[in-house]
Each structure stands twice: as structure tokens, then as C-alpha cells.
Structure 1
Amino acid sequence: MPTPLGKGASFHEMWADLLPIGRSAATGGYRRYAWTGADADCRAWFQAQAESRGLAYELDRNGNQWAWLGDPAGDNAVVTGSHLDSVPDGGAFDGPLGVVSSFAALDELRARRAAPTRPIAIVNFGDEEGARFGLACVGSRLTAGQLTAAQAHALRDADGVTLAQAMEDAGHDPSAIGPDPERLARIGAFVELHVEQGRALAALDSGSAAGINHPIGVASAIWPHGRWRFDFHGEANHAGTTRIEDRRDPMLTYAAAVLAAREKAARSGALATFGKVSVEPNGVNAIASLVRGWLDSRAADEQTLATVVAEIERAAVERGAREGVDVRVTRESFTPVVEFEHGLRDKLAALLGTDSAPVPVLPTGAGHDAGILSASVPTAMLFVRNPTGVSHSPAETAVEDDCLAGVTALADVLEGLACP
């Protein structure tokens, strides 16, 4: 239905337009890294969606994109959105589902002829995944003052390119990055829709004797999580001539740390993963001199997380001492537990559920921009069911009916918050 501000593309059209951007023909996964050509194409897509709807488009000092219905300088705004970047060979839904659904939900509000009394904005936060510079949620961390400009300028990718250089090469002025308290002060609520990264909703359905359907959930909390870099320093040598007893092989110590991470996490009900590794000199016939492994660990509470990481480090150090390998550990990022604002969380649950069919409220181990902003503004999250639970993979998926249910749910939430 046309509106005075113009009707945007349907969910299906938007999804089809976005789908090819940054997709690898070899793997089917996505490589939408911050401040690259694929990122620029995603940003152009976002701007086009905003302008096709007559929304006020804005690029903030930290490279985050905003599309406003109502006064961008107004107070008590209701903001939704997510991110468009990806992990290496990630799936199509992680991030983009939230952005596409936000535009589609706004279209739904217009079709309902809803009359917002608060400004509504859609945001695309930059570099949420941290795939290029190693730190997640850079755009939202800068905005919330959880990452200083100096720290951001020091970030480098694997080729030694700094974040500032990459931003400048992409046409954005890096000298302006930093906290944005005035913008945050104008936000009354931020609601992020995201594909569930796990299969808790699907498990609820399979465990229900009544055949209850749960395409949508509300987040209760985000587990505390962090990233640690383990440096294993050994001695380079010839793989074909060096006796086993003479070797100082850091690869063995690294392997022991990987196994320790699995053991310690499983014993504590936590998660610990070495998912990235670099080796020097990285020769087939050479014993490594240095192995770097990056640990991602998460747990239901901060004490458990601290204990698990400490036990992994201790196991690595003890194994290294036996093998003549020096182990050094650096914490590169940490996000404490996030309890989403209870009033907003309960409001969403009331809007989307009934006494006889309440909407599931569940925690997640995945970090999000909503978690970063939660220290500054009331935030909440909606999850769309993931039938397999697979995420950060080309196999990540959600069925069409569930995606459209997510659009309807987000429209209900926006209407309930901005159109009382």
C-alpha cells in the first residue's frame, strides 16, 4: 500500500537484493568484512533502502548508518536494526535478518496506518563481527564509549592495515570517531531482531506434547564472553632431522591447550573454542617457532568464565614448561554478563505472548550490539527460530514463515512502543 513517504521493497525483494553481496562462489559463505568493497556495497544497499522510503539517512562519526522516520534530533526514539558484516564464510542470516526485518517492519507499520508519536530509527552498526580487526562490535563500542579512539586507531588487520587507514580508504574520516553520548541520550529503547544462534526454540517445539509453535523468542540475557590470544613460543628447527627429545615444538603445547579448553568447558557447563590460529614460519617441513591461537570462551556467569579461562591457561603453561615452550596470554576483549532491561523485556513478552501461549524468554551465549548498548540505553532482543541451530556457517538458515513472523513481531513491538 503506497504511503506519502513512499513504499519500500518487500522483505523478499530486499533479501534477494542483499543476498549476493560478499558471497563466496567457492564456499557459499559470506565475506563482508569491515571497510571493504563488500561492506561498501552493503552500506549502499542500506542507504538505498532508507532513501526509497523517504527516511532521513545519516552516517555517524563511527561509521554506523541510520535511517530515521521522524525527527533525528528528537528524544525518546525507538531504534531497531542490527549489522550487515559477517564472520569469515558466515551465513546469510546473522545480522542481515535484523536489518532487512527492520525495514520490512516499518513497511508493515505504514500498511497498518500506524501513527508513531516517537521517532523510529533503523541502524546498521559497523564491524559487529570483528572479523577483520579482531574486536567485535567496534561501531557500537565506540558509540557507547567502551572503546576509545586511541584503542580503535591501534587496531590492525592481518595485513597490518590499521582501522583508521581502512576507514579513510573507504572515504570515512577516522579523526571523528569516539563516544557519541548525545545520540545515545536521544534513544529511549533499542530492540534488535536476530536469528537464534542455537536451537533452543526448535528444542522447545520438539519437546512440546501439545505441538506448540515457537517461531519467536525474547532474550533474557547474554552470557559474559571474551577473547584471549595465546602465544606459544618455541624454537624453529628442521622437521626431518631434529630428534623428538631435542624439540621445543609450540604446536604440541597449542594442541594440548585446545584439548584442555574442551575438557574444562564441558566440566563447567561453559563454552571454550580455539577457532583461529597462526603459525610461524608455517612451513610443512619446519618445526614452528611461534603458534598463536585465539580462544573464545563464554559461560553463564563471570566467575565460571574466569575459572575456565584460568584453568586453560594453567594447563597450557604447565604443558609448555615440560616441552620448553613459553606461553603468554593476552585478553583482547571482554564483555560482562548482560541482563536486558527487565521492564522493556517484559513489555516485549506481553506484546508478543498471551497467558495461554507465552513467548519464550531465553538467554544466549552470542554477543550483540544490543548487549554493548545495554549499559547506556534500555535494550531488548527478539530471536527468530533456527531449525538446525547452525550459525557462523554457510549452513545457517531460517525458514521463510519464521522470518515473516519475525517481521510481524517486530512491527508489533515498534507499534507498541512508538504508537501508544
Structure 2
Amino acid sequence: MTGPAPVTTADPLVGRFRAMWTQLAGIGRDPGTGGYLRYAWSAAELTCREWFTTEAVRRGLAVRPDGNGNLWADWIPSGVDPAAPAVVTGSHFDSVPHGGGYDGPLGIVSALLAVDELRERGFTPARPVTVAAFVEEEGGRFGLACLGSRLLTGGVSAQYALALTDSDGVTVAEAMRAAGADPAAAGPDPDRLARVGVFVELHVEQGRALVDLGAPVGVASMIWPHGRWRLEFTGAGDHAGTTRMVDRRDPMLTCAHTVLAADAQARRLGAHATIGRVAVRPNATNAIPAQVHAWLDARAADDTALATLVEAVGAEAAARARVDGTAVAVVRESDSPPVAFDPDLTDRIATAVGAQLPGVVPVLPTAAGHDAGVLAGHVPTAMIFVRNPTGVSHAPNEHATDDDCAAGVRALAAALADLAGE
């Protein structure tokens, strides 16, 4: 959903937010589901990137892409050293399949509006302020989340990343070339990373903690460790009508058992396990599958619990495979360690935000991954969350009210002013 219709308000920032948000609202939106299809390097995501460049240039920001496809828009007032470590904020444009509109773009729109707010107050930063738009944060097209920030920081090699393929067999390298980017430039960028002095990412909350706390914004304390594992189930393809049940080696049975086992193990451990993507070969109604691939998304409060969860799911799958006469392999595709955001920076931002907005600013953990989590291993990093009244994310009902989004802009502006001041 794209939010409510414009309403009359005494707060001009609410109107400015709605005007900017409306410009993006229709890009990549599926009219049937109401969800978004903004995959990395796709026409929809490239249109969003063009919009970003136009809006940044209109504000006098110098926009430059890096070799990995991330965009950087620098606000460097006269007299400020352009090589000084910047206060960086931003997020991403890409979406999960049929995801919500706020996950990612809210952080970019809010960052541009925060620059406007600071200028309107007559604030001049003493160090560069940069708005960033990272590429392929969701991993919705090529399967590896936070691809742009991982490449930037050296968390993944260019050789590995460029060979990743989407569901149509298009590689990252081919997608970059089609968009006019040079894949030969991809890889770690220590010079650009050195120019990031601190990173603050604003994001819609992916959950309902702020709803329950009655707060429009909050600050993140940590990100749970999480990862993705590909479960490869192999059996024997055969005829659905003529093959006796006793003779079957059906990998779908093994997969189905594993889905239930993942759910049970996650509940036992107080963790999260999801199998939301499955690929079947030959994928015919009247044929027993020869192979089933399923992707496990696993998250837990600490590394030990996460490892226990994945090991337990793998053991259950292997045990069931022996019963079904099938085979199973568990392949790790990505993993992200726990991220404890810099406590001093978190407290500083919570204090700055609290001075700008009424009420207590909650500090809360999240189980959702972000580019901020990748950058946290290299630079001081923090996150600001905006209340999501539905509590839904990665789905069309993801939402935030215009009033809360305006509160988020003010919170981000307060954080940037505190960090970029004298």
C-alpha cells in the first residue's frame, strides 16, 4: 500500500513528505497485489535511481556512483574539507518480490528531506554529509542480501558476486553492463569506505514494537545474527499416476517434512525460521519431482542459538531423507553475525532525537538485516526506526503514517546535526 490520501495538516513537513513520496509511489508497483517489484538493476530500480540523482542534484549535492552500483550524494559546503570523513545516511530502493514500499525508500526520502530541514534551520555542517543509496540490499534478484555494501567493504569478492545469477540466468555482471555500469570496477572500495565517518540508517520498523510502546520513532540496539541456507533435496522423477506410493523416492515429501521441522525447532529455541521460496524440477502437475530446492531463512538472538537451529533442521532433513529414499544437502549462501550498534553512538542519537521529539525514544533490537549491519563492522553505525502501524513488512500492507514519517525526518535531522556540527 502507498499510504493514505493527502490530508490537510498544519505541519508543512508532512506535506513535503507526501509530495516526495507520491513521486516514488507508483514506480515498480504491481497493480494486482499492490506490492513492489523493484529488483536490483531492473527498469523500476533504475528509475528510482534516476529520481534520486535528480532530487540530489536539485539540492546541489554532488552525485557519484561507485564501482559496485551504490550511489553517493555529497553535501559539502564551502570551506569544508571534501576528504574529511562524512556523516552518511541513506538506505536502498530494491524490494523483495511484491514487498512493501517503505522498506528502503523511506530512508532515502527521509535523508533528502533531513538535508532540507537542516538548511531551512540555517545549519551548515562542519563535515560532509552524504546520502547513500545501496544496491541489492534485499537480495531479491541475485540471492545475496546487502550485495552493494558487502562489495564495498570486501565482505564478498567481486569474482563471486559478479557470477551470481537471477531466476532467468542473468549474471550480476550482465545486469550491470545492461544498465551502463562497468563490472570490472566492482569490488572493495577502501577509499570510499574511508570517507564514511559514521553511518545512520533510517528504516521503517519491521515489526510492531513501536506500536506497542506508543512511540513514533526508536533507535536500534542490535541486529540478530541471521543467514540463508539452500536445502537441496534429490530423489527420482517419475509418473504421478503409474508409480506406486511404496516405490516412490519423492524429494517433495522430504522438503515438506523439513518445513514443519524448521518451524518446530525455531519455536523450541525462541528463534525464527522461514522457508518461503521453493524451486521444483521438473515442476509438472503429473510428475513426481526429481529435485526440490528450498531456501531456509534462519535468525536467532545469538550465534549459538542460530547454529543450533540450522544444525537441528539439517539433522531432521537428513533423517527424513533416509525414510524417503532421497538425498539432502545443506548449502550456506550467506550469513551475517550479530551486530551490536555502537552504544555511545546509539545513546548520543537517542539523546539528540529525544531533544527534538516529545516522549521517550525506545532503544530496541531487530531481527531484520540491513546495510547498516554490514557497515557496522567497519565504521560507527546506528539506526533509527519509524513506527509501522500494521507491523507488517516485506508485504504490501507495510506502512507508516505521514505524521510518523515527518517525525522520522526530524529525528534524522537532529542526529545529523549533532554528528556533523562543530
Q: How many corresponding residue pairs?
A: 404
Shift of 1:10: 2.9
CA distance in 1, matches of 2:253, 2:260: 11
Q: Assess if the C-alpha contact under 8 Å between 1:225 and 1:335 holds in 2.
A: yes
- Paired residues of 1:55 and 1:67 also in contact (CA < 8 A): yes
Shift of 1:222: 0.3
* Residue of structure 1 in register with 2:410 after alignment: 408
What secondary structure sits across from 1:34 in the alignment?
coil
Q: Which residue of 1 aligns with 2:12?
A: none
1:257-336 alignment, distance < 5 Å: 257-336=258-337
Q: Give the structure 1 partner of residue 46 of structure 2.
A: 40
Deviations along 1:229-283, one digit per CA (max 9) or x if unpaired, are 0000011011111111100011111000000010000011100000100000100
Instruction: Verify the 8 A CA contact 1:144 1:184 in the aligned structure 2.
Output: yes
Query: SS state of the match for residue 312, structure 2?
Result: helix
**2:68 is aligned with 1:62:** yes
Tell me how far 1:72 sits from its aligned partner: 8.3
Give 3-state SS (helix, strand or coil) of 1:191's partner: strand
Q: Does 1:97 align with 2:106?
A: yes
Alignment-derived partner of residue 111 in structure 1: 120
Give the Cα–Cα distance (whole angstroms) in 1 for the partners of residues 306 and 50 of structure 2: 40
2:378 equivalent in structure 1: 376
- Greater mean deviation of Cα atoms: 176-185 or 214-223: 176-185
Indicate if the aligned counterparts of 1:56 and 1:72 stay in contact, CA closer than 8 A: no
Q: Which runs of 4+ in 1 moved over 4 A?
A: none
How far does residue 13 in structure 1 lie from its aligned partner after superposition?
1.8
Q: Secondary structure at the match of 1:49?
A: helix
5+ residue gaps, structure 1, are: 1-8, 206-213
- How far the C-alpha of 1:138 sits from its partner, in A, is 0.6
Q: Report whether the alignment pairs 1:174 with 2:183.
A: yes
Amino acid at match of 1:198: G
Deviation at 1:357, TM superposition (A): 4.1
Q: Unpaired segments of 5 or more residues in structure 2?
A: 1-14
Distance 1:331 1:254, change over 3 A: same
Partner-residue secondary structure (3-state), 1:10: helix
Q: Percent identity over the alignment?
A: 58
Equivalent residue for 2:8? Answer: none
Name the CA distance, whole Å, in 1 between partners of 2:179 and 2:338. Answer: 34
* Contact in 1 for aligned 2:81/2:127 (Cα 8 Å): no
SS state at 1:133 partner: coil
Q: Once superposed, what is the RMSD of the aligned Cα atoms?
A: 1.4
Could you report, residue by residue, the CA deviation over 1:337-392 in whole angstroms, capped at 9, with x for unpaired residues? 001111111111111226x9431000000000000000111100000011121000
Distance (whole Å) between structure 1 residues aligned to residue 41 and residue 196 of structure 2: 26
Question: Normalized against structure 1, the TM-score is what?
Answer: 0.94
Contact 2:272 2:298 in 1 (8 A): yes
**Do 2:345 and 2:382's aligned partners in 1 also have CA atoms closer than 8 Å?**
yes
Q: Please state whether the residue corresponding to 1:293 is helix, strand or coil.
A: strand
Deviation track 1:103-133 (CA, whole Å, cap 9, x = no partner) reads: 0111000110001101000000001011110
Contact 2:353 2:412 (8 Å CA) reproduced: no
TM normalised by structure 2 equals 0.94
Shift, 1:396, TM fit: 0.5
The answer as to whether partners of 2:261 and 2:313 remain within 8 angstroms in 1 is yes
- AA paired with 2:105? P
Instruction: Provide the residue aligned with 1:145 in structure 2.
Output: 154
Where does residue 367 of structure 2 map in the other structure? 365
> Which residue type is aligned with residue 410 of structure 2?
T
CA contact (8 A) 2:18 2:402 kept: no
Greater mean alpha carbon deviation, residues 182-191 or residues 67-76: 67-76
Given that residues 221 and 364 in structure 2 are in contact (C-alpha distance below 8 angstroms), is that contact kept between their aligned partners in structure 1?
A: yes
1:53 matched to 2:82: no
1:132 corresponds in structure 2 to 141
